[in-house]
């Protein structure tokens, strides 16, 4: 069975059905199995059914497809104890989520009622063949949002209303707010923690729902989320966020314990959520390149710097041509090598650089959501392109 080839769902469905009948997992047991696969954390290293006995050597995306399907399938199966109308219901569900062009799940095909259509939906949901800087800049954390589909599908099956998109937006807004709050719990934030916060803020799909004045969990509305799936997912994403640097300080621990209490979990459940994140990261660091660094955010920053520099070098002639027509920008960039620019000067540099980026197709990435965060990298590397006299005041430490 190949999750990248058409027809994989119908080949896999009898196996997940057999697994469910043999194991009879409850919601808590099944969710725990998904945690162990890494699916909840956005990095599927295995699957519930196949574990270490994959018929082919699947990649992470293929495993994620299977895990997403299995979670949707389990949700329907556990409610009705059969799957007769599963494809009809799940496709209707995704159709409602895609009812408007700019929905959270925009890009999905118009769903029908077959396994083949669900394959296309899942494929679009996990589309990852874009270049790094062309993706949404919150990929550091939003890959873990795949389980949001499952929580919303569970709600849809209980309510059968067309308000499913509103619920999805509301739930995502809560998750985003909690993750943002979790990231801010760190007692000492280094440059990379600050970068992650900026990347996150610039990448939200529902920017208006992120209120940076909220610092107290009492101000969050958690009561609508009563199912086990929703509550454990909320807790696990918060735990994942605070482990971005592979350590936890007292503020972060207190935050998670308070959140667990407000979600009506025993202390042991919160402790398990914390230990499971740590165990997963430690156990899989050798298998997942993203985890092979003491600070994944630093790795992301360094890799992004290299990518930006490569783009600048490849477009050197076009950039120099554009810069030659903007003397004010060149002067300000010169000033930036010897002193900090004023707020007004920084604004002028940003405006003029974005105008140049519009005229150079390869630099359009800086116009994408979150792209503005990377402009300092562009400013850092541009002086290398200019005549040596421009750089005569730079110290060796500033050289790249």
Tell me the helices (H) and strands (E) count for the chain, helix number first: 17, 0
Query: Looking at the predicted structure, is the pLDDT value of residue 309 above 80?
Result: no
pLDDT at position 345 is 86
Strands (E), the chain: none
User: pLDDT > 90: what percent of the chain?
Assistant: 30
Residue of higher predicted confidence among 209 and 269? 269
Q: What is the pLDDT of residues 169-207, one digit of tens each?
A: 888 888 888 888 887 887 776 666 666 566 555 545 444
Q: What is the mean pLDDT of residues 298-324?
A: 74
Triad 314, 319, 324: Cα angle to 5°: 150
Question: pLDDT band for position 233 (50/70/90)?
Answer: very high
pLDDT at position 127 is 61
pLDDT at position 303 is 63
Tokens linked to 41? 């954390």
Q: Which among 146, 167, 145 is positioned nearest to 157, based on CA atoms?
A: 167
Question: pLDDT band for position 314 (50/70/90)?
Answer: confident
pLDDT at position 108 is 52
The DSSP annotation for 24-69 comes to ---HHHHHHHHHHHTGGGT--S--TTTTT--SS---HHHHHHHHHH
CB count within 10 Å of CB 267 equals 10
Residue of higher predicted confidence among 368 and 169? 169
Tokens linked to 247? 């350590």
Query: Looking at the predicted structure, is the pLDDT value of residue 109 above 90?
Result: no
Question: pLDDT band for position 68 (50/70/90)?
Answer: very high
pLDDT at position 287 is 63
Query: Looking at the predicted structure, is the pLDDT value of residue 42 above 90?
Result: no
Residue of higher predicted confidence among 39 and 318? 39
pLDDT at position 400 is 35
Q: Is the dihedral of CA 287, 289, 294, 297 positive or negative?
A: negative
Query: Looking at the predicted structure, is the pLDDT value of residue 394 above 60?
Result: no
The DSSP annotation for 63-123 comes to HHHHHHHHHHHHHHHHHHSS-TTHHHHHHHHHHHHTSSTTSTTTT-----SSHHHHHHHHH
Give the integer Cα–Cα distance in Å for 136 and 130: 10
Q: What is the pLDDT of residues 252-273, one digit of tens each?
A: 889 999 999 999 999 999 999 9
For the chain, give the number of residues.
Answer: 400
Q: Which residues contact 39 (CB under 8 A, 6 or more apart)?
A: 63, 64, 67, 68, 71, 146, 147
pLDDT at position 295 is 55
pLDDT at position 88 is 93
**For the chain, which residues make up each domain, given as ranges?**
1-129, 315-398
Query: Looking at the predicted structure, is the pLDDT value of residue 357 above 50?
Result: yes
Q: What is the mean pLDDT of the chain?
A: 78
HSE-CB at 40 with a 13 A cutoff on CA atoms is: 28
Cβ pair 203, 124 in contact under 8 A: no
Q: Which among 394, 379, 31, 8 is positioned nearest to 237, based on CA atoms?
A: 31
Tokens linked to 83? 């799957």
pLDDT at position 140 is 46
pLDDT at position 399 is 39
Q: Across 66-75, 182-191, 361-370, which has the greatest mean pLDDT?
A: 66-75
Q: What is the mean pLDDT of residues 206-222?
A: 74
pLDDT at position 25 is 94
Query: Looking at the predicted structure, is the pLDDT value of residue 397 above 50?
Result: no
Question: pLDDT band for position 137 (50/70/90)?
Answer: very low
Give the integer Cα–Cα distance in Å for 249 and 307: 33
Q: What is the mean pLDDT of residues 334-352?
A: 82
pLDDT at position 132 is 40
The string over 92-118, giving b where at least 16 C-beta atoms fall within 10 Å of a residue's C-beta and e elsewhere, is bbbbbbbeeeebbbeebeebeeebebb
Give the integer Cα–Cα distance in Å for 33 and 28: 9
Q: Is the dihedral of CA 358, 361, 367, 371 positive or negative?
A: negative
pTM of the model: 0.72
Query: Coil, strand or helix: which one is 182?
Result: helix
HSE-CB at 223 with a 13 A cutoff on CA atoms is: 3
Q: Which among 41, 103, 68 is positioned nearest to 279, based on CA atoms?
A: 41
């Amino acid at each position: 069975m190949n999750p990248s080839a058409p027809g994989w769902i119908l080949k896999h469905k009898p196996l997940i059905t057999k697994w469910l009948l043999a194991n009879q997992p409850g919601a808590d047991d099944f969710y725990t199995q998904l945690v162990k696969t890494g699916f909840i954390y956005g990095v599927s290293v295995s699957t519930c059914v196949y574990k270490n006995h994959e018929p082919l050597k699947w990649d992470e995306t293929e495993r994620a497809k299977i895990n997403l399907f299995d979670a949707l399938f389990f949700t329907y199966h556990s409610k009705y104890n059969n799957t007769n109308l599963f494809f009809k219901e799940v496709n209707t569900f995704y159709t409602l989520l895609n009812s408007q062009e700019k929905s959270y799940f925009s890009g999905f095909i118009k769903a029908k009622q077959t396994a083949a259509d669900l394959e296309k939906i899942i494929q679009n949901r996990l589309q990852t063949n874009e270049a790094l800087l062309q993706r949404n800049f919150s990929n550091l954390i939003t890959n873990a949002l795949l389980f949001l589909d499952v929580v919303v599908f569970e709600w849809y099956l209980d309510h059968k209303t067309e308000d499913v998109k509103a619920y999805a937006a509301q739930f995502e807004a809560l998750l985003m707010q909690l993750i943002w709050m979790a990231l801010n719990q760190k007692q000492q934030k280094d440059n990379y923690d600050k970068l992650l916060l900026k990347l996150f803020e610039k990448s939200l799909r529902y920017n208006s729902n992120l209120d940076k004045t909220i610092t107290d969990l009492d101000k969050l509305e958690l009561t609508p989320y009563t199912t086990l799936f929703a509550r454990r997912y909320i807790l696990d994403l918060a735990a994942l966020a605070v482990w971005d640097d592979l350590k936890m300080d007292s503020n972060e621990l207190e935050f998670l314990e308070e959140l667990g209490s407000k979600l009506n979990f025993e202390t042991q459940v919160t402790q398990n959520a914390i230990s499971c994140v740590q165990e997963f990261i430690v156990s899989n660091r050798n298998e997942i390149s993203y985890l092979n660094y003491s600070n994944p955010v630093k790795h992301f920053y360094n890799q992004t710097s290299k990518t930006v520099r490569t783009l600048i070098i490849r477009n050197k002639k076009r950039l120099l041509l554009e810069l030659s027509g903007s003397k004010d920008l060149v002067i300000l960039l010169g000033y930036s090598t010897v002193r900090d620019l004023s707020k007004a000067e920084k604004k002028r540099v940003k405006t003029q650089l974005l105008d140049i980026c519009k005229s150079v197709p390869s630099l359009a990435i800086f116009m994408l959501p979150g792209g503005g965060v990377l402009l300092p990298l562009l400013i850092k590397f541009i002086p290398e392109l200019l005549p040596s006299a421009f750089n005569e005041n730079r110290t060796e430490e500033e050289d790249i």
